[in-house]
Structure 1
Amino acid sequence: MSENYRELLLNEFPKIVEEIINSMKTKIPKLALDHLKKNIEYNVPHGKLTRGITVIETFKSFLNDADSEKLKKAIILGWTVEFLQGFFLVADDIMDKSLMRRGQTCWYKLESIGEIAINDSFILENILYKLLKTHFKNDKIYLELMNIFHKISWKTEMGQMLDLLSTPPNTTPNFETFTKEYHEQIVNLKTAYYSFYLPVALGVILASNYREDLNTKQLLKEAKPILLEMGKYFQIQDDYLDCYGDPQILGKIGTDIQDGKCSWLIVQALEIADENQKQLLYKNYSHDSPKSISIIKKIYQELDLDSKFHTYENVAFENLEKLIESLKIFPKEILRNFLLKIFKRKK
């Protein structure tokens, strides 16, 4: 079913691009239109589309008999989350000085782009609001949709700020922030809200546009803690894959060590390392020399962080299954399907 929804999303994408370009045809020259189109097509549709698919799946769970017009609304709403994701990724790659994203060169690294990518990221964000206005301005949920995007964007940007402040530029990492509590704050704000809570919330809100009996607040209140916990699990997977994953499968090269990121691995390492290992971690973490990276990875190996992650993953999965089973009013299948998509993922 997810594959069918992915196909629905991809089939609609060219129409969305055409809609956006046509809305600007009389306002900006062809040079700018061509760049706008390239920006959208390069940065938005090449991921797994899990967020967009989840919007549709959630909506259909509450409105299984949705006609083609209502389903199209869900597809459009799914793409708004993917545009938000594109905005975050383009900006994040610049801040992290990343090289690859989704199996292709980062947008800002293209010779013809460079710092233009900063403005391009803003454009991707604003396209989602153009889509909301075009397709939902006459719906009773329009203001609610606008509010949730603003709210979640704010939380994500606060999470990004925490992430960046733990590793200020041109200096050593702020190791005092490398704690479980600080890492969890980053994860919660930077990843869990927009990747897990937002797509489900959008699906529920859209369904409430057609079903008066749905209590959106109660439904999301019950699902929210589980979705945030799922987001935490997802980000810890991401931290692990950055170091241990296959770049060919991931579509990017892990850089958390040389970037000095406050990741799950370094937090775990600092908690259990002996004094000698800690000094080596302090000395070599955030350096991009092959020797320093090798020293960090060797300590990770000595501390058996690979096994510790797999133990964590299994426990987290079991805990999430129990939490999902305890749901009283929110459909269990929605969250169960979401969890199965990310369990033991490789990218």
Structure 2
Amino acid sequence: MHSFQELTAAFKKRFEVNHFPAEPASLYEPGAYFLNIGGKRIRPVLCLMANELFDTITPDAWHVATAIELFHNFTLIHDDMMDKAPLRRGLPTVHTKFGNSTALLTGDVMLIVAYEYLNKIALTYLQRIIGIFNQTAKQVCEGQQLDMDFEKQDNVQPDNYLHMITLKTSVLLAASLEMGAILGGASARNCQHMYEFGKNLGIAFQIQDDYLDAFGDPEKFGKDVGGDIRQNKKTFLLLHTLQNANAAQQAELEQLMQSNATDKVEKVLTIYRACNVDSWAKDFKEKYVIKALQHLEDVAVVSARKKSLLELTDYLISRDS
């Protein structure tokens, strides 16, 4: 069994090949630029780890892992455009550096290349894997649309937000684990436990992401801290604060959400801290970590084989970037 760090290094080495043709350079170079920015490669490595949980890592798992990472980066390019984000991992986003039209096409072609990798897997698994991949891709798009819809709505409830992030973030982690398990020959029950492990871990991961966007160190986080606040995103932090703030704090928050003042982020964070939302977020995250770990515990393989997944879980929920 390999550790998360070992599989990450192995995947990064394989992934550093050129996934695109040379011409037209104006289309393909922005894609290579974005992939070269890097990233944690968590989703593809989850696929590999789930595969190895049940068997030796297969060539098909490497193909699917590559497709997952290309798909994830496609969503990031388009998400950055929709969010008007200037930075990704501390460097200019594709639309900032190359323009919106090129960013749109670069994301599109990255998705197509992802399917080229999926098409390399054995026919035995192809239909099932593509079915999961397609369902997940649609759900991610649904989640992104709901995220944008929520920006214009005043009555978003925490359960609505939970549903949105499950689609936007969690299902891709879940599907990565499920597809890896399938390629490893896991039973249907074990595949379901792997999916639920990933889904709950993904929710905890998003809660941590919301937390870091508000309270993280921008040098470690790689993005502008307070970006969600500036865009009035209905994050767990905001929704919890609106439900628990006193009347004066609620009124100030609602006024700040209509404002573009330079001190908007600072003032919102002051209210967050007054409502203890930072400590609440940590407790809320832990609730989903416990759910995730229970599903991993229920996977019918010897506990020693789960060590690397347990270490990864700890890393994801304790990260500061």
**What TM-score, normalized by structure 2, do the two folds share?**
0.90
Matching residue of 1:91: 78
Secondary structure (helix, strand or coil) at the match of 1:289 reads coil
Matching residue of 2:150: 166
Equivalent-residue separation in structure 2 for 1:122 and 1:15 (angstroms) = 19
Matching residue of 2:137: 153
Distance 1:330 1:121, change over 3 A: farther
Q: How does 1:180-329 map to 2 (within 5 A)?
A: 180-194=158-172, 196-208=173-185, 214-215=186-187, 217-254=188-225, 255-285=227-257, 287-325=259-297, 327-329=298-300
Matching residue of 1:51: 43
What letter is aligned with 1:223? M
Q: How many residues align?
A: 314
Q: CA deviation at 1:55?
A: 1.3
What letter is aligned with 1:59? N
Query: Any gaps of 5 or more consecutive residues in structure 2?
Result: none
What letter is aligned with 1:156? V
Q: CA deviation at 1:222?
A: 2.5
Secondary structure (helix, strand or coil) at the match of 1:141 reads helix
Query: Any gaps of 5 or more consecutive residues in structure 1?
Result: 169-173, 209-213
Distance 1:81 1:288, change over 3 A: farther
Q: How does 1:86-165 map to 2 (within 5 A)?
A: 86-110=73-97, 112-133=98-119, 135-136=120-121, 138-165=122-149
The answer to whether the 8 A contact 1:258-1:286 is kept is no
Q: Which has the larger radius of gyration?
A: 1
Secondary structure (helix, strand or coil) at the match of 1:329 reads coil
Identity %: 20
Equivalent-residue separation in structure 2 for 1:79 and 1:328 (angstroms) = 25
**What TM-score, normalized by structure 1, do the two folds share?**
0.84
Cα shift readout 1:65-115 (whole Å, capped 9, x = no counterpart): x5xxx3x432222111110110110000011111110121111001x3333
The answer to whether the 8 A contact 2:43-2:69 is kept is yes
Higher relative contact order (CA 8 A, sep 6+): 2
Cα root mean square deviation, aligned: 2.1
Equivalent-residue separation in structure 1 for 2:55 and 2:26 (angstroms) = 38
The answer to whether the 8 A contact 2:199-2:292 is kept is no
